[in-house]
Amino acid sequence: MATPSKIVLSPDQKAAYRVEQISPDSAEIASKLLQENHEKYHIFFNQAGFHNHIAHHLLTIFALGASPEVIQRQYDGNKSYQRDQQGADNSVVEDLADPAKFVQYLGPEKYYQDFLLFFRKHMEENGWENTLNEYLFKGDQKSEEMIARLFGGFLHPIIHLGFGVEFQQPAIMCEALAQTAVHGNWMGPFLFGAEKAAKAGRGNVDKPLMEILEEVRTDQNIKTAASWSQGNKMREGTFTYALDEIINHTAQFVATEDTLEEKMAEMIQVNTYFTAAAQRPPHRVKFDFLSMHAVNMTVFFAALLSPRSPVPGRGRARLLEMAARASLALYASRACPALLPAEVASYAPARAGDGWAALGARARGLADDGHAAKMLRALRHAETCCRKWEGGAKGAAWPIRGDMWLKVAHMGMDSVEAGGPHWVRNAGFQEAWDGVPLRDAEAQL
């Protein structure tokens, strides 16, 4: 049984998307290696805050049916550069039980092990559902500080939490909460500002997300707020020079408890569209690395928004609103790249005969840190979620429909298998594409 200190996967593991057959040996080795990662390695593999993706990678390829040998090989390929944990400070762990002191420790990565042990103890005493509610959804100072940080780090904390909830692994949830706690709160002014604007009825509240995306794309103040020289283009660009504009646009997206499923499909559609269609011919097809995270995040909302979710009532709608708004801010901070739907519609896959199963086999064997496999699984889930709405008035205008989901998956796998760079970073800037090879003459005809 999985506990706050023990990771246990099973061949019949529930997941938003998984292959039908998973071997007991794969479940055993994945559990063992995830446990080693949980106990041994820091959530950041360097001092610059680059994330340890081992948990994401192994859980994804496990769900995609990877053999024990592939799981071990992928783990070995990524453990070599991880940082060891240094152990917790019991005096800090004791301080964290005091809400006033808790918020004082938020931010610095040196407290990761302390937060990890604290959340483990809290879950053991109170259960993981109560712990998530207390530290993310309660609405007091500490939980508001935490929920803003949940969308920091370019969505890594919410992705990590999603893995824990989807696979029902409290130990992974402890990692996610501790990871959240050691991120900065620079998303807070945007997320809470958009909430305030929505409540005030500023603009056309509850506009389709695809329309809001188009408004963001064509807003010149937003488009020019980020510059190539900036390090964190969202924080230093979009939120510094166009905060009011991005708040006003994104505040128009509103979800309710009655519209969760449809609004989730809208977010999936939009995030996939601005990731797949942001191409720059005649360069080869590549996906933006940061935008890709917005796609990868979507698979977890089936679990997070479920009636069985630990997220309470209105909290589910709020979480979805924050995720969709954060996704649009992510797109904006890439300098609002031009979106070319024909690049998706007319795409000719390198191996056109490959269906979802073959693509999954390619993804789980790829020598990377798991981003491609995560995207493949998220896209397979996205196809299922969005199909229901494609025949409706709103869905009829969506640019990703029918077999185009499979085309997007082919685009993603072909692009990473074609050689470096696997991804572009900041797709709205020409400089991002300078190192991307051109399509060959035959492909351009």
Please check the confidence at residue 393 and state whether its pLDDT lies above 90: no
Please check the confidence at residue 384 and state whether its pLDDT lies above 50: yes
Kind and range of the H or E run holding 248: helix 243-250
Cis peptide before 421 (omega within 30 of 0): yes
Q: What is the DSSP-derived secondary structure letter of residue 207?
A: -
Please check the confidence at residue 214 and state whether its pLDDT lies above 60: yes
CA angle 333, 336, 340 (to 5 degrees): 145
> Domain of 102?
1-182
Q: What is the mean pLDDT of residues 418-441?
A: 92
Question: Which residue's structure tokens are 């302390």?
Answer: 114
Of 182, 204, 221, which residue is a domain's last?
182
Q: What is the mean pLDDT of residues 6-14?
A: 97
- Do 103 and 82 fall within a single domain? yes
- Do 219 and 126 fall within a single domain? no
Give the integer Cα–Cα distance in Å for 277 and 352: 19
- Give tens-digit pLDDT for 79-94: 999 999 989 999 999 9
- Do 25 and 40 fall within a single domain? yes
Can you read off the two tokens belonging to residue 67? 């053999």
Rg (C-alpha) for the chain, rounded Å, is 21
pTM: 0.97
Q: What is the DSSP-derived secondary structure letter of residue 228?
A: T
CA angle 411, 297, 1 (to 5 degrees): 120
Of 166, 182, 198, which residue is a domain's last?
182
Sorting pLDDT into bands at 50, 70 and 90, what band is 234?
very high
Sorting pLDDT into bands at 50, 70 and 90, what band is 202?
low
Q: What is the mean pLDDT of the chain?
A: 95
Q: What is the mean pLDDT of residues 429-442?
A: 87
Sorting pLDDT into bands at 50, 70 and 90, what band is 271?
very high
- Give tens-digit pLDDT for 300-347: 999 999 988 989 888 999 999 999 999 999 999 999 999 999 999 999
- Do 175 and 305 fall within a single domain? no
What pLDDT shows up at residue 444?
43
What pLDDT shows up at residue 441?
40
- How many CB atoms neighbour CB 306 within 10 A? 15
Sorting pLDDT into bands at 50, 70 and 90, what band is 97?
very high
- Give tens-digit pLDDT for 41-78: 999 999 888 999 999 999 999 999 999 999 999 999 99
- Do 193 and 248 fall within a single domain? yes
What pLDDT shows up at residue 209?
96
Q: How far is CA 280 from CA 223, 318, 431, in A?
A: 17, 35, 11
Closest C-alpha among 357, 304, 266, 438 to residue 19:
357
- Do 142 and 109 fall within a single domain? yes
- Do 103 and 76 fall within a single domain? yes
Sorting pLDDT into bands at 50, 70 and 90, what band is 205?
confident
- Do 233 and 199 fall within a single domain? yes
What pLDDT shows up at residue 314?
87
What pLDDT shows up at residue 442?
42
- Do 73 and 196 fall within a single domain? no
Please check the confidence at residue 101 and state whether its pLDDT lies above 60: yes
Number of domains in the chain: 2
- Do 216 and 173 fall within a single domain? no
- Do 379 and 239 fall within a single domain? yes
What pLDDT shows up at residue 204?
66
What pLDDT shows up at residue 140?
97
Q: Give long-range contacts, CB 8 A cutoff, 24+ apart: 195-201.
A: 195/251, 195/318, 195/321, 197/247, 197/248, 197/251, 198/251, 198/252, 198/254, 198/321
What pLDDT shows up at residue 273?
98
Can you read off the two tokens belonging to residue 37? 């990662």
Helix locations, 80-140, DSSP H: 90-95, 99-105, 112-126, 128-132
Q: What is the DSSP-derived secondary structure letter of residue 83?
A: P
φ and ψ at residue 374, rounded to 5 degrees: -60, -40
Of 159, 182, 205, which residue is a domain's last?
182
Give the integer Cα–Cα distance in Å for 226 and 238: 6
Q: What is the DSSP-derived secondary structure letter of residue 23?
A: -
- Do 37 and 138 fall within a single domain? yes
- How many CB atoms neighbour CB 388 within 10 A? 12
